[in-house]
Amino acid sequence: MSYRSIAIDGPSGAGKSTLIKLLCGLYQPDSGRILIDGRDVRELNPKTLQRYFGMIFQDYGRYFFTVQENVELGDVEKAKRAGSKREQEVRAALRKGLAEGLAGMLGQPLGNLSPEGVELSGGQWQRLALARACFRDCQVLVLDEPTAALDPMAENELYANFVEMMEGRSCILISHRLAVARYTDRILVLQKGELIEEGDHASLMGENGVYASMYRAQSHWYART
């Protein structure tokens, strides 16, 4: 059975980000095989493998270019192909990445490398990174802690926008904030590099295991605040 969206959860150090980097070919496995469409990732041309994924990691880039160039870095070839629709595609990506507030400043340089440059907040940089990932034509969108720098209202907006972000592709989501896992088709729970639980939100809550314990702990924290 295949799933359009998968959440990977677990405590810090469980191996979530390492697993994703192995899947994307950024790390090479010491043993075993990783298959995509039945083919070992080590047999795939690196450019072919890169086309599968649009990624945003916790250590996303902050590029001191214009807003539009920051988005287009997600898929330079697509930007070239877009022609007259180039700006339209950039604006669509900004909307999906919750960065629509930057759509009015596409030509604005960012950072402090030029006198005209402006600095963004941490949350704005993360929204821009999300837009860059959404701009990419890919089969799988990988989001590693996509709400780490977002305020609670922006986080809720991301959850509400999750379906649109996934349009036409699958999604792998890593997040310590388990509320978003409810929006995915399948949840994988890792601990010390091993898969210990698997299912959807309802079934894992019924098992009353590690996932249920983490979810209830977070729910209690939100209730107190």
pLDDT for position 224: 45
% of the chain surpassing 70 pLDDT: 92
Give percent of the chain above pLDDT 90: 37
Is it the case that residue 163 has pLDDT exceeding 80?
A: no
Question: Cβ contacts of residue 203 below 8 Å, gap of 6+?
Answer: none
Q: Which residues of 136-154 are buried (b: 16+ CB within 10 A; e: fewer)?
A: bebebbbbbbbbebbeeee
What is the reported pLDDT for 106?
96
pTM of the model: 0.81
What is the token pair recorded at 167? Answer: 């349009």
Confidence label for 1 from pLDDT (cuts 50, 70 and 90)? very low
Is a pLDDT exceeding 70 seen at residue 101? yes
Q: What is the mean pLDDT of residues 85-112?
A: 93
> What digits encode the pLDDT tens for the residues 35-48?
888 888 888 888 88
Q: What is the mean pLDDT of the chain?
A: 86
149: closest CA among 59, 21, 18? 59
pLDDT at 222 > cutoff 60: no
pLDDT in the model for residue 123: 85
Q: Is the pLDDT of residue 223 over 70?
A: no
Q: Estimate the crossing angle of helix 122-135 against helix 86-96, to 10 degrees.
A: 120
Q: Which two tokens stand for residue 131?
A: 């837009």
pLDDT given for residue 105 in this prediction = 95
pLDDT at 131 over 70: yes
Residue type, 126: Q
DSSP the chain: ---SEEEEE-STTSSHHHHHHHHTTSS--SSS--EETTEEGGGS-HHHHHHHEEEE-TT----SSBHHHHHHTT-HHHHHHHGGGHHHHHHHHHHHTT-GGGGGGTT-BBSSSSTT-BPPPHHHHHHHHHHHHHHS--SEEEEESTTTT--HHHHHHHHHTHHHHTTTSEEEEE-S-GGGGGGSSEEEEEETTEEEEEE-HHHHHHHTSHHHHHHHHHHHHHHH-
